[in-house]
Structure 1
Amino acid sequence: MKKYGWSYLLIALSVLIGAIAYPYLPDQMPMHWNIHGKVDGYWDKQYAAFFPPVLMIVLMALFIFMPRIDPKKENYKKFSGSYTIFITIMNVFFLLLQSMTISYGLGVNIDISLVVNLGIGLLFIVLGNYLPRIKHNYFIGVRTPWTLANEKTWRKTHQLSGKLFVMAGILLVAISFLPGIYKFTGMLVVVLSTVLIATIASYVFFNRYKNVDNN
């Protein structure tokens, strides 16, 4: 499918990066860091090098398959461009994580927590700009019992959530430059607060619009 061309290219690039770097990687690769930015988990290099592209392939298959079984599958046509961008951005994020861990394994001095927080913050900002465009469906978006039950609740919740995600992303970028423990705590507070506010808002919107025509 041509519309997923960029995602296929990113997956191919991920495989290529893993294959090129593999001979030079240490047998045990750092793959997990604690809240202080210290390595506390290792993987065998074959898993570390090729897990990201495998994950990207599995997720890509799911993203292509999900619209076909969604009861609201006709709605995907209404936000096809945003859906494609969403998939592409997710693949960019995983490619960034792979490049970062491989670089670290090769001895490049990288502040992992800084890069991850910046990446998540930018991801939130981009997703926030596209959330309001996502139409009613059962797989992508802010899926609570109330958004799924009422299309107007879905629309209002996603309009608000788009703004929340952008604000959260900006905060996450700012938090990225704090010391380790504050960075982790700040990220946790921002992400959980965003999810909680969006969930509560969906309940409020549902009770406001449950007797109103979805259109």
Structure 2
Amino acid sequence: MKKHGWSYLLIALSVLIGVVAYPYLPDQMPMHWNINGEVDEYWNKQYAVFFPPLLMIVLMALFIYMPRIDPKKENYKKFSSSYLIFITIMNAFFLLLQCVTIGYSLGLNIDISLAVNLGIGLLFIVLGNYLPRIKHNYFFGIRTPWTLANEKTWRKTHQLSGKLFVVAGLLLVAISFLPGVYKFTGMLVVILTTVLISTIASYVYFNRYKNVGNN
């Protein structure tokens, strides 16, 4: 439990923020924005306020449970610090989303698309720095049929993808300051391109290394 201390603190902070803000929030809160930055979906505040901490709790349970059922469970010990950092950063991201949503609902002049893009960009940069450290497993990382089938393919793919994710994160941060429709389109192009290149690379590496073992 102690090793997840920061994540538990972020979840507790999320609940506290929701409880404190709840009496001051409108009955209907914006929860989705279109590509032009306009609100196109509202939720009742009892759901909107406490959805982020609930999601954080569910994800925490999954992240804690996954290593226990993974056939490669012993490998998690080899990248445990990176795994914990990723969990913490994910919780921080959802806390950020909760805060900007509540702030917007309270009338603050917040550019939601800017905040979300910046958050995703920083998330990609952090993840990119830790991807090369992730060892072969079945639940966490770049999981394609080819990375799962061969440890050397896994390693090479994650080394490349780490660099790609950092570059993608920097691009997402830069794109955050573009006008609405360009921001949304740019984000999709960057993310899909990163995923596509990583997937293709895993196939290429697999065919290169499938007959040379996992060393």
Structure 1 unaligned regions, length at least 5: none
Residue 47 of structure 1 deviates from its aligned partner by: 0.6
Q: Distance in 2 between matches of 1:105 and 1:62?
A: 30
Secondary structure of the residue that 2:177 maps to in structure 1? coil
SS at match of 1:130: helix
**SS across alignment from 1:42:** strand
User: What is the alpha-carbon distance in structure 1 between the residues aligned to residue 140 and residue 100 of structure 2?
Assistant: 27
Alignment partners' CA distance in 2, 1:60 and 1:212: 38
The residue that corresponds to 1:79 in the other structure is: 79
Q: Tell me, in whole angstroms, the C-alpha distance in 1 between the residues paired with 2:120 and 2:62.
A: 22
- Measure the CA separation in 1 of the matches of 2:213 and 2:196: 26
RMSD: 0.4
Aligned partner of 1:196: which letter?
A: L
Residues 1:172 and 2:172 aligned together: yes
Structure 1 residue aligned with 2:157: 157
Deviation of 1:44 (Å):
0.2
Structure 2 residue aligned with 1:190: 190
2:17 matched to which residue of 1?
17
Partner of 1:5: 5
Q: Which runs of 4+ in 1 moved over 3 A?
A: none
CA distance in 2, matches of 1:36, 1:64: 38
The answer as to 2:105 corresponding to 1:109 is no
Matches within 5 A, 1:27-42: 27-42=27-42
> What is the total number of aligned residue pairs between the two structures?
215
Q: TM-score, normalised by structure 1?
A: 0.99
The one-letter code sitting in structure 1 at the alignment partner of 2:89 is I
- Percent identity over the alignment is 87
Does the residue aligned with 1:16 lie in a helix, a strand or coil?
Answer: helix
Output the amino acid matched with 2:175: I
Which amino acid in the other structure matches residue 51 of structure 2? F
How far apart, CA to CA, are the structure 1 residues paired with 2:181 and 2:119?
Answer: 18
Structure 2 match to 1:54:
54
- Specify the code of the residue in structure 1 equivalent to 2:71: P
Which residue matches 1:92?
92
CA offset at residue 212 of structure 1?
A: 1.1
Mapped to 1, the partners of 2:30 and 2:5 lie a distance apart of 31
State the distance in 2 between where 1:68 and 1:113 align: 37
TM superposition score normalised by structure 2: 0.99
